[in-house]
Amino acid sequence: MIGEVGGQARGGLDLDGLRRVYGTPGHRLFYTLVCRRARHWGWTEPGQSKWRCWRAQRQLEGVLGRKLALPPGSRVLDAGCGSGVVARQMAARFGLRVTGVDLMDFHVREARRLSARAALEERTAFAWGDFHELDLPAGSFDGVYSMETLCHAHDPARALAEFHRLLRPGGRLVLLGPAAVPRAEMPDTQQALLDPYLDAMVLPGARRYTTRTLGGLITGAGFRLEEELDATPYYLPTTEALYGYFRLPYAVLRRLGATEHWLGLRSTVEMYELRHHIAWMVHTAVKEG
C-alpha cells in the first residue's frame, strides 16, 4: 500500500499506537528541537566526544550511505522515512534518488516540505505507505534501507519479504536498529522493564526477533547476508549522552505522572537502563541475481 497521505492501514498494524508515539505534542517537540527532526540514534568514533549527538547522527547516516555502496542516481527505498532527514542525506551526500514511505501523514507532509526547502525535490519523493505491503512493482529499487524502523514491524518476516520483492536482482539492503538479546540471557528485572517499554513505544518487531535471530530472518527472506555488525560500541556514547541530558527532566515528568506525553524522553532514559541487553545492529544483505 502506498499513496496519498491519510490512507487506510490494513492487517495487524497498530496505527493508533504509532500515532500516540509520534503524534503527541511532547514527542514532536522533542524530535523537532532536540533531534532536529531525525528520529534515530548516532554513531560516535572512539576518541570523539559523546556529547555531540547531531554530529553522531550525521556520522550514522554516513555509515548507511557507505554500506549501501550504490552509485549516484540509484533508486532507493527508505522504509519508515519519518521527516525524511535520512533520505535527504542520502540524496545530498551520496547522490541517490530516494523514495520514502511512512505511516504518519504528518511525517510525510513534513518530509515533502523540508525537501522542497532544501531544493531536493528532484531526488526525494515521499508517500504514505506501510512497508509490509507497498503497491509498487517488483524490482523497483537498487537499494532498500530501514533506519530504526523494523523494530516497529508487526510482521518483520513479511516486511523483509516485501523489501526482497521490491529490490532488483543484485540490489542491496541495509537495516540499522536495536535488537534485544535473547530473553533467556536477560535478568528478570530487565525483562520487567523491557516489555512495558516495547509496548508503550509500539515496537512489536523487537519482540519477534533478537540479536541472534534477525540474521536468520533476513536470509529466510531470500537475501545473502553480507555483514552482520554489532555496532553497539559506536552507539553507546549517544545512549550515555542522551541519558546525561535528559535524566533529570524525565525524573521530574515521572513525578508529575506526565511521561506518556513525552515518549521520546522515555526512550532516551529507558534505553540507558536497558543498555546491557540491547544491541545496535547493522545488517547488510544482497538479493542474489
Binding part of the chain for ligand SAM, among 81-89, 189-197, 209-217, 249-257 by CB under 6 A, reads: 81-89
User: Which grid cell is 49?
Assistant: 566526544
What is the H or E stretch that residue 281 is in?
A: strand 278-287
Amino acid at 157: A
Residue in 76, 77, 81, 278 binding ligand SAM, rule: CB under 6 A: 81
Q: Is 60 a residue that touches ligand SAM (CB under 6 A)? A: no
Q: Which among 207, 215, 150, 200 is positioned nearest to 177, based on CA atoms?
A: 150
185/269 with CB nearer ligand SAM: 269
Nearer to ligand SAM among residue 142 and residue 148 (C-beta): 148
State the binding string over 90-129 for ligand SAM (x if CB under 6 A, else -): -----------xxxx--x----------------------
**Which residue is associated with the grid cell 532527514?**
85
Tell me whether residue 41 or residue 223 sits nearer to ligand SAM (CB atom).
41
* 42 near ligand SAM, rule: CB under 6 A: no
Q: Using CB under 6 A, which of the segments 34-42, 46-54, 230-238, 245-253 binds ligand SAM?
A: 34-42
Q: Which residue has the cell 530504526?
A: 148
Distance of closest approach, residue 50 Cβ to ligand SAM, in angstroms:
19
| CA–CA distance, 224 with 37 (Å, rounded to integer) | 33
Least distance to ligand SAM from the beta carbon of 30, Å?
12
Number of Cβ within 10 Å of residue 87's Cβ equals 30
Nearer to ligand SAM, 18 or 34 (CB): 18
Grid coordinates given for 233: 560500541
Q: How far is the CB of 152 from ligand SAM (least distance, A)?
A: 4
d(CA 116, CA 113) in angstroms, rounded, equals 5
Q: Are strands 75-79 and 97-102 parallel, antiparallel or unpaired?
A: parallel
In the bound state with ligand SAM, the residue whose beta carbon lies nearer, of 44 and 149, is 149
HEC assignment per residue over 180-231: ECCHHHCCHHHHHHHHHHHHHCCCCHHHHCCCCCHHHHHHHCCEEEEEEEEC
Closest by Cα among 94, 93, 100, 89 to 72: 94
Stretch that binds ligand SAM, among 35-43, 46-54, 224-232, 270-278 (CB under 6 A): 35-43
Task: Note the residues at the interface with ligand SAM (CB under 6 A).
Answer: 18, 22, 38-40, 80-82, 85-86, 101-104, 107, 130-132, 147-149, 152-153
